[in-house]
Amino acid sequence: MNRPQKVEDLELPPEAFAKHSSNSFDFPTFDTVGKAMLKAKLAQAGFVVHTAQGGGFDVIRVDWGQCRHCKDEAELKSFAQKVGVFHV
């Protein structure tokens, strides 16, 4: 049975980590997790949320036959509160 290797045991040169940069996959921030959670909660309530090309979000409720554009995440949260999906 092999024991797990430690980074120290690999004898990698320091240059191997010089170009490392953190991205959304390394450290999810509240913004990325918050947007995804808000979109998921709206989806559970029957809304479809698309990220608009010009910025903001388009929220669609097909059975109502309506669409609403939210210019930023704050407006999307406000809309979610109005329809009872997001609670502060």
Residue 87 has a pLDDT of: 76
34 domain residue, yes or no: yes
16 domain residue, yes or no: no
58 domain residue, yes or no: yes
Burial of 33 (0-12, 13-18, 19+ CB in 10 A): exposed
Q: Residue 34: is its pLDDT beyond 90? A: no
How does the average pLDDT of the chain come out, rounded? 78
- Whether this prediction's pTM lies above 0.75 is answered by no
CA distance 27 to 30: 10
Q: Residue 19: is its pLDDT beyond 80? A: no
17 domain residue, yes or no: no
Does residue 18 or residue 40 have the better pLDDT?
A: 40
The two structure tokens encoding residue 18: 């010089």
First to last CA, the chain: 51
| Distance, CA of 77 to chain centre | 14
81 domain residue, yes or no: yes
CB 63 within 8 A of CB 70: no
60 domain residue, yes or no: yes
* Number of domains present in the structure of the chain: 1
Question: Containing domain of residue 83, as a range?
Answer: 30-88
7 domain residue, yes or no: no
